Structure 1
Amino acid sequence: MTPDDVYQLTLVAAAGVLAPIIVAGVRRFAIPSVVLEISFGIVLGPQVLDLVQPTGLVDGLSVLGLSMLMFLAGYELKLDTIRGRPLKLAGISWGLSVVLATMVGLGVHVSGGHSGEIVIPLALTTTALGTLLPVLRDAGVLGTPLGRYAMALGSVGEFGPIVLVGLLLAGTDPVQSILVLGAFALLIVGSALLANRPWGDRIVTFIAKSMWASSQLPIRLTLLFMLALAAVANTLGIDVLLGAFAAGAVVRIAAAKHDDEEDETDASSIFGFKLEGIGFGMLVPVFFVVSGTRIDLKALFSQPSSALVVPGFLLLMLVVRAIPTFLVYRTGLERRQRRALAVMSATGLPLIVVITTIATENGYLSSADAAAMVAAGMLSVVILPAVSIALLGRVREARPIEPGAGL
């Protein structure tokens, strides 16, 4: 580690500390921390102060932070909570969004005016579950049917695009990608079944005790599993992010199995807190700050057409995600709640940053379009959650229609 690495990492860490402090100070405006982290990255990066370069150790930690972000996204999947009707409706809604996004992609291809004929539709199908969770919690609806619908919608809006990233941005033949992805899926299913098997009392006791020891064995095993699946995915030609996401989902299955055991509840919760501490407390902020240093503001404002992509992409996010959601949930929620859920579904930033980062590195997207898409994503997480809560008003509990009605 060179002195310059230490200097740049100190600035990145300072940005990561200042962001949540500012968020707490301006709570009235509900600015997500990730928006400030990216903004600080823009200021510190080559476009403004040129104090932080996305290279070397800084870049390495950013890649690890991205992997941890995907792992935690997989860990957030709680199938017991969203299975059944919520998951079914979320899948239908996302499928319709894919159809609309494909139409957008065809339009971009015919116009020939942008480089993102694959990437733009892909980014339009995302939903920022991590951004929605605190909004739902603060609104007091997380444990209601509306909250379960939102959780399912966000989960599918993260899992589906990650799979499509592995298929469309891997740079290999689509048929080969599908076959390889199928083989990788079998590996994940096998790992999930193994994780769900009963463990011996000696193993459970040993792992539980090490949770409080300096060895922190459960955390070490988890990080090893995440990196191992990422390595397998990379060897198979699949994006490593899919491996990290799958690792999070499998670890969640193993952790959830012990949630029902009274003597393991506290340990299981502490385990999740420790993973989030490593991720959101250290590595993930590095990724978002460094992502900000990569945003090419000069390219964005060099041409009026590039700047117009920002409101255009934000509008497309609403069309592609909000309209299908509003239509699909017509038999499950009252009108006001459908509107709120539809607006929530169009919220997206973390995966948009991920997708544009991969796309620009592989030559699928211009830096100007990438900057515009990230800017639109930043606006979505600032504006749309607040709008959804305003639409929700005083209603805090969903009133689902009879289970047999409609879809």
Structure 2
Amino acid sequence: MTHDFISLAIIGLIAAVAPFIANLIPKKPVPETVLLLAGGAVLGPHMVNVIWLDESVSLLSDLGCAMLFLLAGYEINPKTITGREGKRGLATWGITLALAFVAVHAFTGISANGLDGLAVTIALTTTAIGALMPILKERGLMGTRMGSSILSYGTWGELGPVIAMALLLSTRATWLTVAILAAFIVVAVLVARFGHRTARKEGPIRDILFAGRDTTSQTFVRLTMLLLIVLVAVSSLFDLDIVLGAFAAGFILRYIIPKDDEVLEKKLNSIGYGFLIPLFFVVSGARIDLTAVAAQPALLVGFIAMLVLIRAMPIFISMARDKDPEVAALGARNHAAVAVYCTTALPLIVAVTSVAVNGGAMDASTASVFVSAGALTMLIMPLVAQLMYKAAETRPVKWLEKE
């Protein structure tokens, strides 16, 4: 227990210092997320060893990951992924998956059909849209045409790999996994409809909800955390990635809570970005073995290069061929910036490599290299995208203006 509190104190120190360091660097090129990962890697068990990854710290880290994706799901308007550009994002992710499968089969020494090969294949298709959210907010891209494109393509880069993990990395029969996923979706829809009606129907339940929202009862916050934990528990119970449950909780919350409820959003941001989410990134960094990474630099560089070719290029081509006037008006430079943003990857790389390591198909040192590559994309890709970005060409999305 003492170790746990010492670890949390060190993690809290890293989280508190990171904003100061980020803002002291001219033009703030390094996202706070990168500093959190770096702090965890240096002070974690593979180097200084003052952060111990005990069960309680790991549990809080998982809850931080879940909170990150709940807020991501809450931010994403369903039109972003079900609209015309969202459908292009889904199709592009499918192409990315096929390219990744071919690349792993043709250019690596591992079988694309093996557990380790499938893990690398899925990792090459990911976009860390949850981790990108704070960066997009910092740079004022949320609500712009460019921000909408990032969400349209990037969200499928998060949801697609989660579904692929369930189908391809599970030890269950495929038909059973499909049935479980379908049941999960049905439950999520029913919960959303029930919550939507309850929150709007006049009566004692609604009165209690709204009367206690700003008192010590904090009814909306408590119900939000209950929703998150229950859906994450259900995901874990059926061997689905917790990201799926967290995303579902975010979508449900968006459907239940009245529009423009900035009060609840601020409270959730305080809980998430104030404690749980920084903890998740520091712990993710602490799992990185920098000595193993230094021993395999070619694998590190090769994985990042494959991410760019397999994930970024199809998105750039899709946007360049899009006939929509608003998308075309962004120009090639911003098309490239969207593609580079969507090559940012981390949380799901941690998840897929963990499955391969636990299954005995990948050693921990190799997994550290892949996780480190994902961590480096958190630094490199947003920085490169920022250099490409032309602010004068972005504008608010029309469907947002109508709301």
Interval of TM-score (by shorter of Structure 1 and Structure 2) = 0.7 to 0.9
1:367 CA displacement: 1.6
Aligned equivalents of 2:360, 2:110: Cα separation in 1 = 19
Measured at CA, do residues 25 and 218 of structure 1 come closer, stay the same or move farther in structure 2, by a change above 3 Å?
same
1:383 CA displacement: 2.0
Give the RMSD, CA atoms, in angstroms.
Answer: 2.7
**Secondary structure, aligned partner of 1:197:** helix
Moved more, 183-192 or 361-370: 361-370
What are the ranges of 5 or more consecutive residues in structure 2 without an aligned counterpart? 398-403
Measured at CA, do residues 292 and 141 of structure 1 come closer, stay the same or move farther in structure 2, by a change above 3 Å?
closer
Equivalent residue, structure 2, for 1:405: none
What are the ranges of 5 or more consecutive residues in structure 1 without an aligned counterpart? 260-264, 401-407
1:108 CA displacement: 6.1
CA deviation profile, 1:182-210 (whole Å, cap 9, x unmatched)? 22222122223333436213344432221
Measured at CA, do residues 16 and 356 of structure 1 come closer, stay the same or move farther in structure 2, by a change above 3 Å?
farther
The residue identity in structure 2 corresponding to 1:324 is P
Equivalent residue, structure 2, for 1:226: 228
Equivalent residue, structure 1, for 2:387: 390
Q: What aligned pairs does 1:325-344 form with structure 2 within 5 A after superposition?
A: 325-330=315-320, 331=322, 332-333=327-328, 334-344=331-341
Measured at CA, do residues 232 and 83 of structure 1 come closer, stay the same or move farther in structure 2, by a change above 3 Å?
closer
The residue identity in structure 2 corresponding to 1:309 is L
Equivalent residue, structure 2, for 1:48: 47
Contact 1:16-1:286 at 8 Å conserved across structures = yes
Q: What aligned pairs does 1:176-255 form with structure 2 within 5 A after superposition?
A: 176-197=176-197, 199-202=200-203, 203-255=205-257
Contact 1:86-1:148 at 8 Å conserved across structures = no
Equivalent residue, structure 1, for 2:289: 296
Aligned equivalents of 1:66, 1:360: Cα separation in 2 = 20
Measured at CA, do residues 72 and 394 of structure 1 come closer, stay the same or move farther in structure 2, by a change above 3 Å?
closer
What is the TM-score of this pair, normalised by structure 2? 0.87
Match of 1:275 among 259, 268, 276: 268
The residue identity in structure 1 corresponding to 2:302 is G
The residue identity in structure 2 corresponding to 1:19 is A
Contact 2:81-2:89 at 8 Å conserved across structures = no
Moved more, 320-329 or 168-177: 168-177
1:365 CA displacement: 3.1
Equivalent residue, structure 2, for 1:262: none
Aligned equivalents of 1:109, 1:345: Cα separation in 2 = 24
**2:371 maps to 1:374:** yes
**Secondary structure, aligned partner of 1:372:** helix
1:399 CA displacement: 12
**2:147 maps to 1:157:** no
What is the TM-score of this pair, normalised by structure 1? 0.86
1:212 CA displacement: 0.6
Aligned equivalents of 1:26, 1:177: Cα separation in 2 = 47
Aligned equivalents of 2:125, 2:240: Cα separation in 1 = 20
1:68 CA displacement: 2.2
Q: Percent identity?
A: 33
Contact 1:225-1:247 at 8 Å conserved across structures = yes
Moved more, 62-71 or 268-277: 62-71
**Secondary structure, aligned partner of 2:313:** helix
Task: Return structure 1 stretches of 4+ with deviation > 6 angstroms.
Answer: none
- Number of paired residues? 387
